[in-house]
């Protein structure tokens, strides 16, 4: 299974953004995540009236994949009107769950920038720090 073309993943992310629940920010975001076996899971941002409970599109896409039994990922696309890169919390979760994968960031014009999750979160905290052998 080849890594999907970024433009295909963008179309899924853009469609997902149309389902965003973002009445407070009016800033819809969509994400599309390709699993190792080629399946695509999507997410949109879901805001809460208790603002801090908002969950971003990226983390909802990852959650959708994980609850369906997927643990290995190939690529992530994020879509917003002006090409938002993932927030800090999402960068941590992308690194934790996906490792070092390509992250495609698209805006309304169709323009895309390509990053890697390792580039978005340099010097990460992660599971390796929690392994006993490193602590003792």
Active-site amino acid positions: 58
Terminus-to-terminus CA distance in the chain, angstroms? 41
Q: Which stretch binds ligand THU (CB under 6 A): 6-14, 22-30, 61-69, 99-107?
A: 22-30
Q: Which stretch binds ligand THU (CB under 6 A): 63-71, 80-88, 92-100, 123-131?
A: 80-88
Q: Which stretch binds ligand THU (CB under 6 A): 6-14, 21-29, 102-110, 112-120?
A: 21-29
Select 28 or 70, whichever has its Cβ closest to ligand THU: 28
Q: Which long-range contacts (CB under 8 A, 24 or more apart) does 57-61 make?
A: 57/13, 57/16, 57/17, 57/20, 57/29, 57/30, 57/31, 58/29, 58/31, 58/86, 58/90, 58/93, 58/94, 59/89, 59/90, 59/93, 60/31, 61/16, 61/31, 61/32, 61/33
Q: Which residues in 40-59 contact ligand THU (CB under 6 A)?
A: 45, 47, 54, 56-58
- Does 87 bind ligand THU (CB under 6 A)? Our answer is yes
- Does 18 bind ligand THU (CB under 6 A)? Our answer is no
Q: Minimal CA–CA distance to 66: which of 36, 29, 103, 28? A: 36
Binding stretches for ligand THU (CB under 6 A): 22, 25, 27, 29, 45, 47, 54, 56-58, 84, 86-87, 90
């Amino acid at each position: 299974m080849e890594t999907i073309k970024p433009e295909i993943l963008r179309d899924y992310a853009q469609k997902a953004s149309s389902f965003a629940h973002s009445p407070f920010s009016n800033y819809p975001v969509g994400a599309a995540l390709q699993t190792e076996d080629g399946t695509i899971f999507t997410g949109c941002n879901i805001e809460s009236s208790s603002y801090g409970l908002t969950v971003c599109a990226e983390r909802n896409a990852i959650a959708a994949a994980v609850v369906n039994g997927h643990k290995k990922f190939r690529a992530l696309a994020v879509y917003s009107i002006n090409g938002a890169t993932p927030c800090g919390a999402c960068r941590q979760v992308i690194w934790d769950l996906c490792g070092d994968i390509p992250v495609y960031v698209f805006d309304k014009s169709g323009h895309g920038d390509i990053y890697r999750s390792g580039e978005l979160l340099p010097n990460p905290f992660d599971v390796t720090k929690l392994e006993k052998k490193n602590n003792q």
